[in-house]
Chain A
């Protein structure tokens, strides 16, 4: 009976895994195929004449390297690199969200304040409103603050516990803090500590599993963002908007276009994949420990 159950589980998992991974493997395989491999129908997965040409071409087309001009400041020169812009759009907001969303999550999970129910509805609302409904005023706001073409467009809302999927992160923290025993805070408060240092020194450090989840999700979602970056960034660009640019190949390479597109996709996902390989244990385990949403 048990063997039968294992058999069914493995069978289903393997079938689904193959379906899942097929596009990814296809992307990797095609990225290294040379022209000879592309036109050869017998070469399916493993190229006979592997090449790095596609990758090199994609690196150039995606403007990964900064373009140095003496007339510009070092910062402006660096901002011509899509990789640099992507990193700036990803890491600072994620780091800020770890802290600010925790503060808001603590308020919703553990504190009492007037109109708490109404504010909870607002919290859910921030998650449900599509960015497409509010992007015009947001763009105007950013232009007034001088945040267009600057990662500040993403850091500023994060500073207030909002930002990309900020509502979701607040909810994750809220659920986590609700589970911590009340006695912990009470003991410290009786000993005369003020509520803010109790949060900073006792409660917040306990939330490591939630922090890991929030940080990783935030990194990934900022990295993948295309809609808001497309609106806020007019002179600079992130990697995520560059994949499609490779679609316009030079004439003589028209036939080998597909491998270069796939190479650009590979370059784009590679950093995320590396992070995932190292962090997936936290990713999968800490979800269980935080219970994410209840």
Chain B
């Protein structure tokens, strides 16, 4: 047997189990739910009945359901604000925690804590009791500023401000990613820049940030996915409600779920477009 064929067989053996799992736990459910979204699904005691409905479910969700376009717009708008806020905050923290100073270990331990505590129910409980909001944000100036914006954005900005602290709680993993990125830059580059007369501020902009561009990209992707699957997401509530409702059922819930997945893909595509240049992609 040729060595190449042999290598390929070995590779297939290693990836085989994963691929079977992919078919079972991803491909099949995706196709099944896409199929359901084009059907009216009725639940019998022991099986499901499908009645082809074409694009009806999607039309209903987009044009006839008063709730869905609003929830989608509002959530998309707030995540377009939240995602940059989280990533920029994580970046600032990562730069701070990457400096050499006494007590760095302790500081890192404190700031990585959100990685383990980010549980939806816990955060809901803490925010419900107004520990998540900053008092100064409720002051008159901010409210005036917010009301000057168009409705959807005003509501979205309001949501973000109200949960400012909780925004910070979603930046733990991103900090880890960015610090890992900073560690991957060769220290001799900094030394060379220093000899050439660059100060810390210049090295930050000219060496660190370009060097960790791929990590920033991954942090943004992670944040988008994380925000969209976070338990406080109102879209999830809508999906579950229709999933449990006897009037609308699985077909409608699946159609909403696919619209929701479509929005995530759109945003991820948009992010990739922005990062095309710094990452050197074509």
Do A and B interact? yes
Residues of A participating in the B interface, judged by any CB pair closer than 8 Å? 5-6, 9-10, 12-13, 16-17, 19-24, 26-27, 100, 103-104, 106-108, 111-114, 116, 119, 122, 125-134, 136-138, 140-141, 157, 159-162, 170, 195-196, 199, 217, 220, 223-224, 226-227, 240-241, 243-244, 258, 261-262, 265, 268-269, 272-273, 275-276, 280-281, 283-284, 287-288, 290-294
Chain B residues whose C-beta falls within 8 Å of the C-beta of A226 in the assembled complex: 119-121, 231
Given A20-B169, A113-B12, A119-B15, A136-B21 contact (CB < 8 Å): no
Query: Beta-carbon contacts of B232-275 to A below 8 Å, as 1s and 0s?
Result: 00011001000100000010011001101100110010000000
B side interface size, CB within 8 A: 84
A130-B257, A136-B253, A227-B236 known, 5 other contacts, Cβ within 8 Å:
A104-B14, A106-B14, A114-B12, A291-B183, A294-B181
Secondary structure of the A contact surface, majority rule: helix
In the bound complex, do residue A22 and residue B131 qualify as a contact, i.e. CB atoms below 8 Å apart?
A: yes
Contact check: which of B92, B96, B125, B243 meets A243 at CB < 8 Å? B125
Stretch at the interface among B22-30, B58-66, B139-147, B152-160: B22-30
Interface centre among B21, B110, B236 (most CB of A within 10 A): B21
In the bound complex, do residue A122 and residue B26 qualify as a contact, i.e. CB atoms below 8 Å apart?
A: yes
Closest 4 CB pairs of A and B: A160-B21, A111-B11, A113-B11, A107-B14
In the bound complex, do residue B33 and residue A160 qualify as a contact, i.e. CB atoms below 8 Å apart?
A: no
In the complex, what distance in Å separates the CA atom of A276 from the CA atom of B110? 11
Q: Which of B182-209 contact A (CB under 8 A)?
A: 183-184, 200
Residues of B participating in the A interface, judged by any CB pair closer than 8 Å? 7-8, 10-15, 17-22, 24-26, 28-30, 32-33, 36, 48, 92-93, 96, 99, 101, 105, 107-122, 124-126, 129, 131-132, 165, 168-169, 176-177, 179-181, 183-184, 200, 214-215, 218, 225, 228-229, 231, 235-236, 239, 243, 250, 253-254, 257-258, 260-261, 264-265, 268
